[in-house]
Structure 1
Amino acid sequence: MVEEPTAEQPTRGESEERLVSALRGTFDVSVMNFGSYNILYAANLHARDARASGQEHHISSVHDGVSLAEHLLVGYRRQPMELVLCPVDLDDVLSRVARAAPDPAADAVPAVPLPVNLTNLAGMAAEGRQLEIAMSTGHRVVLEVHPQVSFEALPDVTLGQRHDVEDFYDFVDFFMDRLEEMNPV
Protein backbone atom coordinates (compact mmCIF):
# COMPACT_ATOMS: atom_id res chain seq x y z
CA MET A 1 0.00 0.00 0.00
CA VAL A 2 3.00 2.25 -0.16
CA GLU A 3 3.38 3.56 -3.65
CA GLU A 4 5.21 6.47 -5.18
CA PRO A 5 2.88 8.69 -7.21
CA THR A 6 3.24 8.43 -10.98
CA ALA A 7 1.60 10.15 -13.92
CA GLU A 8 -0.87 7.23 -14.02
CA GLN A 9 -1.41 7.28 -10.28
CA PRO A 10 -2.07 10.62 -8.63
CA THR A 11 -0.95 11.40 -5.11
CA ARG A 12 -3.34 10.12 -2.47
CA GLY A 13 -5.58 12.61 -0.74
CA GLU A 14 -5.47 13.10 3.02
CA SER A 15 -8.51 10.88 3.69
CA GLU A 16 -7.11 8.02 1.63
CA GLU A 17 -3.72 8.38 3.35
CA ARG A 18 -5.49 8.12 6.73
CA LEU A 19 -7.26 4.95 5.56
CA VAL A 20 -4.00 3.41 4.34
CA SER A 21 -2.31 4.35 7.62
CA ALA A 22 -5.10 2.79 9.70
CA LEU A 23 -5.03 -0.45 7.67
CA ARG A 24 -1.25 -0.61 7.77
CA GLY A 25 -1.36 0.03 11.53
CA THR A 26 -3.50 -3.06 12.04
CA PHE A 27 -1.13 -5.18 9.94
CA ASP A 28 1.95 -3.79 11.68
CA VAL A 29 0.73 -4.57 15.22
CA SER A 30 -0.30 -8.08 14.14
CA VAL A 31 2.61 -9.35 12.03
CA MET A 32 6.26 -9.85 12.97
CA ASN A 33 8.69 -8.40 10.43
CA PHE A 34 5.77 -6.37 9.06
CA GLY A 35 8.04 -4.06 7.09
CA SER A 36 9.12 -6.82 4.70
CA TYR A 37 5.61 -7.32 3.29
CA ASN A 38 3.65 -5.58 0.60
CA ILE A 39 0.02 -5.48 1.67
CA LEU A 40 -3.42 -4.97 0.19
CA TYR A 41 -7.03 -5.21 1.32
CA ALA A 42 -9.21 -8.15 0.22
CA ALA A 43 -12.73 -9.29 0.98
CA ASN A 44 -13.05 -12.97 1.93
CA LEU A 45 -15.99 -14.35 -0.05
CA HIS A 46 -15.77 -17.70 1.73
CA ALA A 47 -16.58 -15.97 5.04
CA ARG A 48 -19.54 -14.13 3.50
CA ASP A 49 -20.90 -17.39 2.11
CA ALA A 50 -20.37 -19.17 5.44
CA ARG A 51 -22.23 -16.45 7.34
CA ALA A 52 -25.05 -16.36 4.77
CA SER A 53 -25.57 -20.12 5.16
CA GLY A 54 -27.01 -19.48 8.61
CA GLN A 55 -24.91 -22.22 10.20
CA GLU A 56 -23.29 -21.43 13.52
CA HIS A 57 -19.50 -21.30 13.27
CA HIS A 58 -17.11 -21.60 16.19
CA ILE A 59 -13.66 -20.10 16.00
CA SER A 60 -11.31 -22.51 17.72
CA SER A 61 -8.12 -21.97 15.73
CA VAL A 62 -6.19 -19.38 13.75
CA HIS A 63 -7.34 -21.16 10.59
CA ASP A 64 -10.99 -20.78 11.65
CA GLY A 65 -10.48 -17.11 12.47
CA VAL A 66 -8.96 -16.35 9.09
CA SER A 67 -11.36 -18.45 7.00
CA LEU A 68 -14.34 -16.79 8.74
CA ALA A 69 -12.97 -13.21 8.63
CA GLU A 70 -14.86 -11.16 6.05
CA HIS A 71 -12.07 -8.58 5.74
CA LEU A 72 -8.40 -9.45 5.36
CA LEU A 73 -5.15 -7.64 4.91
CA VAL A 74 -2.98 -9.75 2.65
CA GLY A 75 0.74 -9.43 3.15
CA TYR A 76 3.06 -11.04 0.64
CA ARG A 77 6.77 -11.28 0.02
CA ARG A 78 8.98 -13.16 -2.37
CA GLN A 79 11.84 -13.91 0.05
CA PRO A 80 11.09 -15.95 2.01
CA MET A 81 8.12 -16.71 -0.19
CA GLU A 82 4.89 -16.45 1.77
CA LEU A 83 1.53 -14.82 2.20
CA VAL A 84 0.18 -13.60 5.52
CA LEU A 85 -3.59 -13.41 5.91
CA CYS A 86 -4.44 -10.94 8.65
CA PRO A 87 -8.06 -10.48 9.73
CA VAL A 88 -8.99 -6.83 10.11
CA ASP A 89 -11.80 -5.33 12.16
CA LEU A 90 -13.06 -2.93 9.52
CA ASP A 91 -15.35 -1.10 11.96
CA ASP A 92 -12.31 -0.32 14.13
CA VAL A 93 -10.22 0.81 11.16
CA LEU A 94 -12.92 3.04 9.72
CA SER A 95 -13.67 4.61 13.11
CA ARG A 96 -9.97 5.45 13.52
CA VAL A 97 -10.02 7.08 10.09
CA ALA A 98 -13.20 9.06 10.84
CA ARG A 99 -11.84 10.41 14.13
CA ALA A 100 -9.72 13.48 13.90
CA ALA A 101 -6.86 11.79 15.77
CA PRO A 102 -3.46 12.82 14.44
CA ASP A 103 -2.38 9.21 13.81
CA PRO A 104 -5.05 6.78 12.57
CA ALA A 105 -2.56 3.90 13.01
CA ALA A 106 -2.44 4.51 16.77
CA ASP A 107 -4.53 2.19 18.92
CA ALA A 108 -4.81 -0.40 16.14
CA VAL A 109 -6.37 -3.64 17.34
CA PRO A 110 -4.03 -6.59 16.73
CA ALA A 111 -5.31 -9.75 15.08
CA VAL A 112 -3.86 -13.24 14.86
CA PRO A 113 -2.50 -13.66 11.32
CA LEU A 114 -2.05 -16.88 9.37
CA PRO A 115 1.15 -17.38 7.37
CA VAL A 116 0.67 -19.28 4.12
CA ASN A 117 3.73 -20.91 2.60
CA LEU A 118 4.80 -24.15 0.97
CA THR A 119 4.47 -26.04 4.27
CA ASN A 120 0.73 -25.48 4.76
CA LEU A 121 -0.65 -24.67 1.32
CA ALA A 122 -2.79 -27.35 -0.34
CA GLY A 123 -3.66 -25.38 -3.46
CA MET A 124 -4.27 -22.02 -5.05
CA ALA A 125 -6.45 -21.00 -8.00
CA ALA A 126 -6.96 -17.56 -9.52
CA GLU A 127 -9.90 -16.53 -11.66
CA GLY A 128 -10.72 -12.93 -12.48
CA ARG A 129 -10.52 -10.84 -9.32
CA GLN A 130 -10.69 -13.87 -7.06
CA LEU A 131 -8.00 -16.06 -5.57
CA GLU A 132 -8.92 -19.24 -3.73
CA ILE A 133 -6.39 -20.49 -1.21
CA ALA A 134 -6.82 -24.00 0.21
CA MET A 135 -4.86 -24.92 3.31
CA SER A 136 -3.55 -28.35 4.25
CA THR A 137 -5.93 -28.22 7.25
CA GLY A 138 -8.97 -28.16 4.94
CA HIS A 139 -9.66 -24.47 5.61
CA ARG A 140 -9.91 -22.07 2.73
CA VAL A 141 -10.36 -18.43 1.83
CA VAL A 142 -11.59 -16.87 -1.37
CA LEU A 143 -10.00 -13.46 -1.73
CA GLU A 144 -11.75 -10.84 -3.81
CA VAL A 145 -9.23 -8.17 -4.72
CA HIS A 146 -10.17 -4.90 -6.42
CA PRO A 147 -8.01 -2.05 -7.69
CA GLN A 148 -10.35 0.43 -5.99
CA VAL A 149 -12.30 -0.22 -2.81
CA SER A 150 -14.97 1.89 -1.14
CA PHE A 151 -16.58 1.29 2.23
CA GLU A 152 -20.13 2.27 3.23
CA ALA A 153 -18.95 3.93 6.44
CA LEU A 154 -16.59 6.21 4.45
CA PRO A 155 -18.42 6.81 1.17
CA ASP A 156 -16.19 9.74 0.17
CA VAL A 157 -12.94 7.76 0.47
CA THR A 158 -11.72 5.28 -2.13
CA LEU A 159 -8.77 3.02 -1.44
CA GLY A 160 -6.70 2.94 -4.62
CA GLN A 161 -4.61 -0.20 -4.81
CA ARG A 162 -4.30 -0.82 -8.55
CA HIS A 163 -0.51 -1.13 -8.53
CA ASP A 164 -0.68 -3.32 -5.42
CA VAL A 165 -3.20 -5.63 -7.10
CA GLU A 166 -1.03 -5.92 -10.22
CA ASP A 167 2.03 -6.68 -8.09
CA PHE A 168 0.03 -9.16 -6.00
CA TYR A 169 -1.05 -11.15 -9.06
CA ASP A 170 2.58 -11.16 -10.30
CA PHE A 171 3.48 -12.60 -6.89
CA VAL A 172 0.68 -15.20 -7.15
CA ASP A 173 2.05 -16.30 -10.55
CA PHE A 174 5.54 -16.53 -9.03
CA PHE A 175 4.20 -18.51 -6.03
CA MET A 176 2.21 -20.91 -8.24
CA ASP A 177 5.21 -21.45 -10.53
CA ARG A 178 7.38 -22.41 -7.52
CA LEU A 179 4.62 -24.71 -6.28
CA GLU A 180 4.42 -26.45 -9.67
CA GLU A 181 8.21 -26.82 -9.81
CA MET A 182 8.16 -28.55 -6.43
CA ASN A 183 5.21 -30.79 -7.34
CA PRO A 184 5.45 -31.66 -11.03
CA VAL A 185 2.49 -33.56 -12.42
Structure 2
Amino acid sequence: MLLVLETLGPTERAVFVLREVFEVGYDEIAATVQKSPSAVRQIAHRARAHVAARRPRGPVSAAEARRALEAFQRAVDLGDVQGLLDILAPDVVLLGDGGGIKQAVLRPVVGADKVARLLASRKVEVAALSLHPAEVNGWPALIVRFDGELDTVLTVRVDDGLVTGLYAVRNPEKLAHMRQATALRR
Protein backbone atom coordinates (compact mmCIF):
# COMPACT_ATOMS: atom_id res chain seq x y z
CA MET A 1 0.00 0.00 0.00
CA LEU A 2 2.91 2.35 0.71
CA LEU A 3 4.14 1.88 -2.85
CA VAL A 4 0.70 2.75 -4.18
CA LEU A 5 0.21 5.78 -1.93
CA GLU A 6 3.61 7.11 -2.97
CA THR A 7 2.43 7.17 -6.59
CA LEU A 8 -0.49 9.46 -5.73
CA GLY A 9 -0.02 13.21 -5.74
CA PRO A 10 -0.07 14.98 -2.36
CA THR A 11 -3.68 16.15 -2.67
CA GLU A 12 -4.88 12.77 -3.95
CA ARG A 13 -3.05 11.00 -1.13
CA ALA A 14 -4.54 13.33 1.50
CA VAL A 15 -8.06 12.96 0.11
CA PHE A 16 -7.74 9.18 -0.18
CA VAL A 17 -6.42 8.69 3.35
CA LEU A 18 -8.89 11.12 4.95
CA ARG A 19 -11.87 9.60 3.13
CA GLU A 20 -11.03 5.90 2.94
CA VAL A 21 -9.08 5.42 6.16
CA PHE A 22 -10.58 8.01 8.51
CA GLU A 23 -14.03 8.31 6.83
CA VAL A 24 -13.93 12.11 6.94
CA GLY A 25 -16.79 13.80 5.07
CA TYR A 26 -16.24 15.45 1.69
CA ASP A 27 -17.11 18.92 3.01
CA GLU A 28 -14.51 18.71 5.78
CA ILE A 29 -11.88 17.37 3.38
CA ALA A 30 -12.71 20.17 0.92
CA ALA A 31 -12.04 22.77 3.59
CA THR A 32 -8.77 21.07 4.53
CA VAL A 33 -7.37 20.85 0.99
CA GLN A 34 -8.98 24.14 -0.14
CA LYS A 35 -11.03 22.59 -2.94
CA SER A 36 -14.75 22.41 -3.60
CA PRO A 37 -16.65 19.36 -2.31
CA SER A 38 -17.40 18.26 -5.90
CA ALA A 39 -13.69 18.52 -6.79
CA VAL A 40 -12.84 16.44 -3.71
CA ARG A 41 -15.36 13.78 -4.75
CA GLN A 42 -13.70 13.59 -8.17
CA ILE A 43 -10.20 13.45 -6.62
CA ALA A 44 -11.36 10.67 -4.27
CA HIS A 45 -12.87 8.74 -7.19
CA ARG A 46 -9.63 9.01 -9.22
CA ALA A 47 -7.49 8.06 -6.21
CA ARG A 48 -9.66 4.98 -5.47
CA ALA A 49 -9.43 3.91 -9.12
CA HIS A 50 -5.66 4.39 -9.10
CA VAL A 51 -5.24 2.39 -5.89
CA ALA A 52 -7.53 -0.39 -7.13
CA ALA A 53 -5.58 -0.65 -10.39
CA ARG A 54 -2.29 -1.07 -8.52
CA ARG A 55 -3.46 -3.84 -6.17
CA PRO A 56 -2.09 -7.28 -6.93
CA ARG A 57 -4.61 -9.47 -8.72
CA GLY A 58 -3.85 -12.42 -6.51
CA PRO A 59 -1.13 -14.05 -4.51
CA VAL A 60 2.12 -14.66 -6.36
CA SER A 61 3.55 -18.14 -6.08
CA ALA A 62 6.93 -18.53 -4.44
CA ALA A 63 8.30 -20.01 -7.68
CA GLU A 64 7.08 -17.03 -9.74
CA ALA A 65 8.57 -14.56 -7.26
CA ARG A 66 11.86 -16.50 -7.21
CA ARG A 67 12.08 -16.55 -11.04
CA ALA A 68 11.43 -12.81 -11.25
CA LEU A 69 13.93 -12.07 -8.48
CA GLU A 70 16.59 -14.23 -10.14
CA ALA A 71 16.08 -12.51 -13.51
CA PHE A 72 16.18 -9.12 -11.83
CA GLN A 73 19.34 -10.00 -9.89
CA ARG A 74 21.05 -11.35 -13.00
CA ALA A 75 20.25 -8.16 -14.96
CA VAL A 76 21.48 -5.93 -12.12
CA ASP A 77 24.66 -8.01 -11.69
CA LEU A 78 25.43 -7.67 -15.41
CA GLY A 79 24.29 -4.05 -15.75
CA ASP A 80 21.99 -5.39 -18.49
CA VAL A 81 19.51 -2.62 -19.32
CA GLN A 82 17.52 -4.82 -21.74
CA GLY A 83 17.36 -7.60 -19.15
CA LEU A 84 16.00 -5.09 -16.64
CA LEU A 85 13.45 -3.80 -19.16
CA ASP A 86 12.34 -7.40 -19.77
CA ILE A 87 11.63 -8.09 -16.07
CA LEU A 88 10.33 -4.65 -14.99
CA ALA A 89 6.65 -3.80 -15.45
CA PRO A 90 6.14 -0.71 -17.62
CA ASP A 91 4.80 1.24 -14.62
CA VAL A 92 7.26 -0.09 -12.01
CA VAL A 93 7.88 2.21 -9.04
CA LEU A 94 11.20 2.47 -7.18
CA LEU A 95 11.16 4.05 -3.72
CA GLY A 96 14.22 4.79 -1.62
CA ASP A 97 14.72 5.29 2.10
CA GLY A 98 18.05 6.67 3.25
CA GLY A 99 16.57 8.27 6.35
CA GLY A 100 18.51 11.45 5.61
CA ILE A 101 21.65 9.52 6.55
CA LYS A 102 22.45 7.54 3.38
CA GLN A 103 21.97 8.61 -0.22
CA ALA A 104 18.73 7.36 -1.74
CA VAL A 105 16.25 8.48 -4.39
CA LEU A 106 14.29 11.39 -2.97
CA ARG A 107 11.16 10.90 -5.07
CA PRO A 108 9.56 7.79 -6.51
CA VAL A 109 11.13 6.76 -9.81
CA VAL A 110 8.31 5.60 -12.09
CA GLY A 111 8.60 3.65 -15.32
CA ALA A 112 10.69 0.73 -16.50
CA ASP A 113 13.01 2.86 -18.64
CA LYS A 114 13.87 5.27 -15.81
CA VAL A 115 14.29 2.53 -13.20
CA ALA A 116 16.41 0.36 -15.54
CA ARG A 117 18.70 3.26 -16.46
CA LEU A 118 19.10 4.20 -12.79
CA LEU A 119 19.94 0.65 -11.70
CA ALA A 120 22.26 -0.03 -14.64
CA SER A 121 24.09 3.27 -14.16
CA ARG A 122 25.42 2.37 -10.73
CA LYS A 123 29.19 2.30 -11.21
CA VAL A 124 30.48 0.25 -8.32
CA GLU A 125 33.47 -2.03 -8.01
CA VAL A 126 31.75 -5.32 -8.88
CA ALA A 127 34.04 -7.36 -6.63
CA ALA A 128 33.03 -5.18 -3.67
CA LEU A 129 29.28 -5.59 -4.31
CA SER A 130 27.27 -8.73 -3.62
CA LEU A 131 23.56 -9.44 -3.93
CA HIS A 132 21.89 -12.24 -1.98
CA PRO A 133 18.25 -13.32 -2.38
CA ALA A 134 16.20 -13.29 0.80
CA GLU A 135 12.68 -12.90 2.12
CA VAL A 136 12.07 -9.77 4.19
CA ASN A 137 8.73 -9.21 5.90
CA GLY A 138 7.17 -11.80 3.60
CA TRP A 139 8.43 -10.12 0.40
CA PRO A 140 11.11 -11.35 -1.97
CA ALA A 141 14.21 -9.23 -1.47
CA LEU A 142 17.84 -8.78 -2.27
CA ILE A 143 20.35 -8.11 0.48
CA VAL A 144 23.01 -5.81 -0.97
CA ARG A 145 26.42 -5.92 0.66
CA PHE A 146 29.30 -3.60 -0.16
CA ASP A 147 32.73 -4.78 0.99
CA GLY A 148 30.93 -7.41 3.07
CA GLU A 149 28.86 -4.85 5.00
CA LEU A 150 25.08 -4.63 4.77
CA ASP A 151 24.31 -1.62 2.57
CA THR A 152 20.75 -1.96 1.27
CA VAL A 153 17.71 -4.19 1.56
CA LEU A 154 15.79 -4.11 -1.70
CA THR A 155 12.30 -5.60 -1.41
CA VAL A 156 10.63 -6.54 -4.66
CA ARG A 157 6.95 -6.72 -5.52
CA VAL A 158 6.07 -9.14 -8.32
CA ASP A 159 2.79 -9.25 -10.26
CA ASP A 160 2.19 -11.43 -13.33
CA GLY A 161 5.87 -12.40 -13.48
CA LEU A 162 7.12 -8.81 -13.63
CA VAL A 163 8.68 -6.59 -10.98
CA THR A 164 6.11 -3.87 -10.26
CA GLY A 165 7.64 -2.31 -7.16
CA LEU A 166 11.06 -1.86 -5.57
CA TYR A 167 11.70 -0.45 -2.11
CA ALA A 168 15.37 0.24 -1.37
CA VAL A 169 16.03 0.69 2.36
CA ARG A 170 19.45 2.18 3.10
CA ASN A 171 18.55 3.90 6.36
CA PRO A 172 21.01 2.45 8.92
CA GLU A 173 18.47 2.79 11.72
CA LYS A 174 16.01 0.58 9.85
CA LEU A 175 18.74 -1.86 8.86
CA ALA A 176 20.01 -2.31 12.43
CA HIS A 177 17.63 -5.25 12.95
CA MET A 178 18.80 -6.83 9.68
CA ARG A 179 22.42 -6.53 10.74
CA GLN A 180 21.64 -8.37 13.97
CA ALA A 181 19.48 -10.99 12.23
CA THR A 182 21.98 -11.67 9.46
CA ALA A 183 24.86 -11.83 11.92
CA LEU A 184 23.09 -14.65 13.78
CA ARG A 185 22.96 -16.85 10.66
CA ARG A 186 26.73 -17.00 10.21
- Tell me if both proteins adopt one fold, taking TM over 0.5 as the criterion: no
Structure with the bigger RCO (C-alpha within 8 Å, sep 6+) is 1
TM-score for the superposition, normalised by structure 2: 0.28
Structure with max Cα Rg:
2
TM-score for the superposition, normalised by structure 1: 0.28
